[in-house]
Amino acid sequence: MAEYSTLGSVAVLQVNNPPVNSFSHHVRQALVDGLERAQRDPAVRSIVIMGKGRTFPAGADIREFGSGAAVKMPNLLMVLQAVDTCQKPVVSAIHGTALGGGFELALASHYRLAVPSARMGLPEVHLGILPGAGGTQRLPRVVGVKTAIQMITSGQHIKAQQALSLGIVDKIVQGDLLKEAVSFARSVEGRPVEDRRISQKTVPEADKVDEVVEAARKTILRKARGAIAPMTCVQAIQASVLPFEAGMAREAELMAFLMTSWQAPAQQYAFFSEREVRRWSHPRDKRINFKTAKPRVVKSVGVVGAGTMGMGITINLLQAGLKVVMLEVNKKQLDKAVNTIKKTLSQKSASQKMSQLTTAMDYSQLRDVDIVIEAVFENMRLKKEVFRKLDAVTKPQTILASNTSGLNIDEIAAVTKRPDKVVGTHFFAPANVMRLLENIYGRQTSPETVATAMQLGVTIGKVGVLVGNCPGFVGNRMLGSYTAEAVFLLEEGAEPQDVDRAIEEFGFPMGPFRMGDLSGTDIGWKGRIAKGLTTEHGPPPATPALYRRGNRYCPLPDMLCMKGRLGQKTGAGWYRYEPGSRTALPDPVVLQMIQDYRQEHGFKKRTISSQEIVERCLYPLINEGFHILDEGIAARSLDIDVIYLFGYGWPRHTGGPMYYAERVIGLEKLLCSLETYSARYPDHAHLQPSPLLRNMVAKGGSLAALGTDSKL
C-alpha cells in the first residue's frame, strides 16, 4: 500500500510493500487514490512520494508478470500519468534503490531528491523486457540518447552523485530524507509544473539520433548474443524523438513484443532462481536445510596453495573483510601471489585489506583459523596428505574445505578424524570475479558444516549452490559430455572455429575450444593422465586408440598437448596467438593435425550444420543434468540452471540448461533428438537418454514439480 499523511501543506505518500516496495496492484491503487486525494484537498499544495523501510520502489512486482495482475487497472502507466499531469508539484525522494518502474516514477515526478547512498537505474533488460512505463521515452529527454542507450541496455545502477551530474536528480540531500523532502516541496509550492514535466521536453541533439543508434548497434548485438531485449530497448529509445504520445505508443508495442517472447519468462525465472538457491536443502537428510542448520561464525580463513585459485580466493576473502592466512610450499609462488593480490585490491583499501593477510609456509600457522580452503594441485594423494596435516594442526572445530574440481569429498574426508567437518567449496576461475560457489556435502558432512560453507558464500558475495558428491559434481560432470562431443565433431569434419562459432551464436561468451585455450588445454590432459586414460606420451600400452575402458575416446586433445600446445599461455593451442594478443586465429598446423588424424582412423569429412553442433554439444550436457537430478546430486533443476548461468556462461536469456530443455526445446523433442543421435552413435554413452527424461516424457510432469526427494 501507500500510506497517506499530511505535514502542513505537503501530502506525503509512503509506499509500504516490503521487502522492496514493488508496485503490486494494491500499491498502484493506493498511489492513484493518494494523488487524487491530494489534488482534491485545497490545503495540500505539494506532494512527496517516497518508500518506507529500506528503499524507494525497486520496480514492478515481477511475481505479477504473466498473471494478469501486472496489467490490472490501474496499471503502472496510469499511476505515472497521474503523477506527470498532477497540477501540484510532485517530489520523489529517493533512498535505497529506485529501479525499473520505481525510477520511472521518479522520472515522471516534477522534482527528484536523493540521499548520497541512493542508486537508480533501469534493469529491465535483465528480465528480458524494456522499461515500459515511459523509461525509454523520459530518460533520453534528460540525458540524451547515447547515455540512455548505455544505461538501459546495460541495466546498470548509477549512484546519486552521477545522477546529479547527469541532471537526473535535482538535489542530493543529507540528513533526514522525509524532513528534507517536505522542506524542499514547500519551497516549490505555487511554481508552475508545466516546465518541470520531462514528457514535455525534447530529446537533446535529436537530429543525431539515427547516427548514435547506428554506432551502438554493432556493440549491442555482439554483447547481446541472441538476447532480443537489448536491441528492442534501443528501438524504443530511438522513438523518443517522436512526440511523447507517439513514443509511448511505440514503447508499448515493443514491450508487448518482449513480454510475449519466450526470453522474458526465462530471464525472470533466472532472477528468482538466483534467489531461490539460498533456500537450500539436502534431498534426503532432513537435518541439512537452510531453515534449521546453523552456521559457525567465520572470522578467519586459511587458504592452502597460492596458485591461480588460492590467489583468487584470497582476494575474494580479503575484499569481504575476512582475515586470511595464505599458505604455500613454494616461496617464489607465495611472493608472486602477494604481489598480484596487492595489485588487484583497489587502491583505496589495499593497505587496510593487506593488513588482514598473513603468509605462511608452515602448517602450524593455520592452527587458529575457523575454516581452511585447500587449493593445491588436483591430485588425490596430495590432497589426502594436506588434509592429514590440516587435521593434525588446526583446532578441533575448524572446518576443512577442498576446492577440488571434482575429486571424491568422502575419500578426502576419510583421512581426517573429523569427516563431519569436511566439505567441498568449488570456486570458479577467476575466483575473485566469478559469482558461483558450488558447495559439496559428503556422506558425513554435518548440517553445521554445510550451513557454514553456504553462509561463507553469502559473506563473500557468491551465489552458492549446494550439491552432492560425485565425480565432477554438477557443473564439471555435465561439462564432460559437452567437451567430449565437441571433439567428436572434429573427427567428423568440423573445425574448432565452426564449433566455437555455433556455440557462441547460441549465446555462450566462448565456445569449447577458445575456452580450452584460455584455461589451458593441459588441465584436462593432466586429469586424464591421473585417471590413467592417457599418458604423457600417448595411449597407455595395449590400449586401442579410440576407446578407453569400453567407451569411445577421442585422443585429439591429448595429441595437441603432446605438441606443447597448452593454450594462450604457450601462444598456441586449438588456435594460434600473435605475441601479446588473445585473438584466436585458426591455425593450419592444427587443421592439418585433425585432417591427418581423420585419414589415419578412417573418418570421412562431412559438412556439419550449426544446428547439429549445438544439439550434439548441449543435448548430452542437459541429458547429464537429468541423470544428476535422478540421482539426487542436485536437489532441484533450478540449482543446475544457476550453476550453469553463474559458472559456465550459459546464456541467461535461455534460463539455463534445464529450463531451456523443458520450456524451449520441449522434453519430447529433446528425447527424440537424443534417440536419433544415440542410434547414430551407439558408443557415445552420454547420448543415451536418461531414464528420468524418458519417464517424464512418458508420464508427463514438470521439472519444477520434482520435489527435492521425489522421483517420477
Point out which residues bind ligand ZOZ (CB under 6 A).
19-20, 22, 58-63, 71, 75-77, 97, 99-101, 104, 123-124, 127, 131-133, 135, 272, 275
CA–CA gap between residue 40 and residue 315 (Å, rounded): 58
CB of 394 to ligand NAI, least distance (A): 14
Torsion of CA 520, 526, 528, 532, to 10 degrees: 170
450 to 193, 276, 422, 548: CA distances (angstroms) = 57, 17, 9, 36
Give the 3-state secondary structure of 358-370. EEECCHHHHCCCC
Which of ligand NAI, ligand ZOZ, none sits in contact with 404, Cβ below 5 to 8 A by type? Answer: ligand NAI
Question: In terms of CB distance, is 30 or 621 closer to ligand ZOZ?
Answer: 30
Query: What element of type H or E holds 613?
Result: helix 610-630
Query: What element of type H or E holds 628?
Result: helix 610-630
Residues in the site for ligand NAI, rule: CB under 6 A?
Answer: 304-310, 327-330, 333, 375-378, 382, 386, 403-405, 427-429, 519
Which of ligand NAI, ligand ZOZ, none sits in contact with 60, Cβ below 5 to 8 A by type? Answer: ligand ZOZ
Closest residue to ligand ZOZ, based on beta-carbon distance: 100
Beta-carbon count within 10 A of 581 CB: 11
Is the separation of the CB atoms in 662 and 702 below 8 Å?
yes
Torsion over CA: 565, 566, 571, 577 (sign): positive
Catalytic residue among 36, 104, 438, 485: 104
Q: Is 563 exposed, middle or buried (0-12, 13-18, 19+ CB in 10 A)?
A: middle
Which of ligand ZOZ, ligand NAI, none sits in contact with 19, Cβ below 5 to 8 A by type? Answer: ligand ZOZ
CB of 403 to ligand NAI, least distance (A): 4
CB of 373 to ligand NAI, least distance (A): 10
CB of 148 to ligand ZOZ, least distance (A): 14
Which of ligand NAI, ligand ZOZ, none sits in contact with 329, Cβ below 5 to 8 A by type? Answer: ligand NAI
Question: In terms of CB distance, is 101 or 475 closer to ligand ZOZ?
Answer: 101
Which of ligand ZOZ, ligand NAI, none sits in contact with 124, Cβ below 5 to 8 A by type? Answer: ligand ZOZ
Question: In terms of CB distance, is 117 or 355 closer to ligand ZOZ?
Answer: 117
All three cell numbers of 20, joined, read 522492496
Helix (H, G, I), strand (E, B) or coil at 656: coil
Catalytic residue among 124, 251, 374, 485: 124
CB of 250 to ligand ZOZ, least distance (A): 14
CA–CA gap between residue 625 and residue 637 (Å, rounded): 8
Question: In terms of CB distance, is 99 or 633 closer to ligand ZOZ?
Answer: 99
Which of ligand ZOZ, ligand NAI, none sits in contact with 306, Cβ below 5 to 8 A by type? Answer: ligand NAI
CB of 35 to ligand ZOZ, least distance (A): 17
Question: In terms of CB distance, is 123 or 305 closer to ligand ZOZ?
Answer: 123
Could you tell me which residues are beta bridge partners of residue 49? 13, 92
Question: In terms of CB distance, is 58 or 658 closer to ligand ZOZ?
Answer: 58
CB of 98 to ligand ZOZ, least distance (A): 10
Residue tagged 557443473 (cell numbers): 475
Which of ligand ZOZ, ligand NAI, none sits in contact with 673, Cβ below 5 to 8 A by type? Answer: none
Question: In terms of CB distance, is 333 or 444 closer to ligand NAI?
Answer: 333
- Residues sharing a CB contact under 8 Å with residue 144, sequence separation 6 or more, in sequence order: 203, 204, 205
- Asked about 36 being catalytic, the answer comes back as no
- Asked about 214 being catalytic, the answer comes back as no
Give the 3-state secondary structure of 394-454. CCCCCEEEECCCCCCHHHHHCCCCCHHHEEEEEECCCCCCCCEEEEEECCCCCHHHHHHHH
CA–CA gap between residue 538 and residue 562 (Å, rounded): 8
Residues with a known catalytic role: 104, 124
